[in-house]
Amino acid sequence: MEEQFILRVPPSIAERIERLLNEDSSISHDGSLDLSFTDDGRTGTFVIGNERFPASLLDLPCVVESYKTYDDTALIKTADVGQVIMVREEGDPAPEGIEYRHGLTPPMRDARRRRFRREPDLNPELVQRVEKDLLSIMSGGTVENILCDNSFFLLLFLLLHQLALKLILFQYIGFLALFPSILSLPY
């Protein structure tokens, strides 16, 4: 696979880049392109000719696949792109956070809020308490200090459900180990 990135620039800079790529480099006024990042790896500077523009590396809300073709009929996947380099004008504000809210196309506008489930608000102390109580129950003991709140029982249910799925998977693998001839049966 190739290494690729998406470079998003304002229209005025896009015209200059297109002119630079289409013209002979000896004729062009904007002789060079450069992109460098600071130590944090998220902020940097985009240089075209003698002008400098601030740039930021942002994570896309979802992975974008890129393809290329040699014969205009068959497509070949070349990369998964998960980040975008945003170049902005000097006076424009820097983006908040490290994740870009929008996708690359208009239907993916505000994709993080509209298309993905919100992460649950779980208290780390509650998670530790439920894990401790679950281990106590599994070892044959009883649960201490049960508080009758919904989040406790929801978390306990989720942990027990995950444990049950693992047990079913282990039983299935054990069953296949005992009877390997099942794998060779025709369907």
Is residue 145 over pLDDT 60? no
The answer to whether the predicted template modeling score (pTM) of the entire model surpasses 0.85 is: no
Tens-place pLDDT, residues 74-99: 999 999 998 999 999 988 888 888 88
- For residues 86, 89, 95, 98, the Cα torsion angle rounded to the nearest 10 degrees is 30
Provide long-range contacts, Cβ within 8 A and 24+ apart, for 97-103.
Answer: 98/42, 98/57, 98/58, 98/59, 99/58, 99/59, 99/61, 100/58, 100/59, 100/60, 100/61, 101/61, 102/61, 103/60, 103/61, 103/62, 103/64
Q: Distance between CA 114 and CA 101 in Å, rounded?
A: 10
Mean pLDDT of the chain, nearest integer: 77
**DSSP secondary structure string for all residues of 131-166:** HHHHHHHHTT----S----HHHHHHHHHHHHHHHHH
C-alpha 120 chain-centroid distance: 18
Look at residue 9 in the predicted model and tell me its pLDDT.
Answer: 92
Q: What is the pLDDT of residues 6-61, one digit of tens each?
A: 999 999 899 988 888 887 656 656 578 889 999 988 999 999 888 899 999 999 88
Residue 185 confidence class, pLDDT cut points 50, 70, 90: very low
